[in-house]
Chains A and B, each alone.
Chain A
């Protein structure tokens, strides 16, 4: 399988702080990669460089063969081919669920209103919100808003969706509904990079796990390996913190 994402020696600094340290890795088409690691390790920074929400100072990033950070590329066209789902949903509060989903098809892809509306209705149906099509974001629960956000990303018809902690802002009882939509996408062959602490999701859905710390990908392994036999001491510490906060040494297998 060809690469969907190809990170080559990516370096990024915030002032003096080395936020991404020579990150090199690939994601193949159709793969689901879960990114985990302690707070401040650079997960958000890394995923946000993939659609150039953050600039980089060294290295190159190819998405679907396109050099994302090349000068002179039409970044709007490139971004239109990459879905992005935020922790805080970031729906447009002045637009209904349907209008949120329609915006990119209408204004970026140049669909007609009728086409975009039909597409939006279908996608909202798909994420289980067929009955809330004309609701405003403020009238929706967190889980529903995040599903609208996923539909909005799907409306870009991109082969790749990036998720930055999509369930971290949700009440526990709403995490499941969002994860099940994501599982469905994965099953349909969507390429996904997911920053999350939901280790159950990682085990079930991920093809690979990237463990990040201090701006580096310290470990890149199959979920079974990662959970049963983490190589790096910091990964072991992270896993025991996440899975068993009280320190008991049970792993989910």
Chain B
């Protein structure tokens, strides 16, 4: 089998590949940001001393950890429009519905894992830190935000980076509902041209480089914000 780099670089194929890559990166970035925000919200909700809220968060986390991610994406894409009022549905349909629902599903899925990673980090912060934070007049939320979370996040970075890598790979599941991200695009180009080797090498390299970039970011963060040592 002959490998033709020129095929990948041709004016027909290269823009398609770039478009796929751009969609994957955008999907990942949006899902990561939304997922992190939801995760922080979940962590905050767990700090509220209401049993039923704790239970609700636990159900949320278990659903996202135990149901296959691709099913979660389909639930949003095929299930949500059934529930939503007609006007909202029409409004959403004017945009990129596939992208939006895939992004939400991936974000919520990631948020469940992010929240667990942050919570494990929080468990390593001694209770005396909370007491000290409260004793200077910070509210429960203020103590969480200014004292507990910054320490917990430093501890949580390695698992969070792992989780970001998984999220990056999981963006490929969005092809199940027709989001034209990198994997979908690869498959589409292959279907048309039968140049399997070239396109899959391109996709593999792309995912590999993205992983390396994320790991480098993690290493940088760990150096910039080293886990604080107890004095």
Contacts and interface: CB of A to CB of B under 8 A. Distances in A.
B47 to A, nearest CB: 15
Contacts of B228: 93-94, 136-138
B65 interface: no
A92 B135 CA distance: 12
A94 B142 contact: no
Interface string A138-149: 111010010000
A88 B132 CA distance: 10
Contacts of B147: 92, 103
Contact of A53 (B129, B135, B151, B230): B135
A156 B146 CA distance: 17
Given A76-B139, A84-B135, A86-B128, A137 B231 contact: yes
Nearest to B145: A107
Contact of B138 (A76, A136, A153): A76
A94 B135 contact: no
A51 interface: yes
Given A91-B231, A94-B228, A152 B136 contact: yes
Interface size class of A (residues with CB under 8 A): 20 to 34
A95 to B, nearest CB: 8
B137 interface: yes
Interface string B208-231: 000000000000000001001111
B128 A93 contact: no
A24 to B, nearest CB: 24
Given A79-B134, A79-B137, A92 B231 contact: no
Interface string A79-112: 1111010101111111000000001100111000
A138 B230 contact: yes
Interface in B141-184: 142, 146-147, 150-151, 154
Interface of A: 51, 53, 76-77, 79-82, 84, 86, 88-94, 103-104, 107-109, 136-140, 142, 145, 152-153, 156
12 contacts: A84-B135, A84-B136, A86-B132, A93-B231, A107-B142, A108-B136, A136-B228, A137-B231, A138-B230, A142-B231, A145-B231, A153-B136
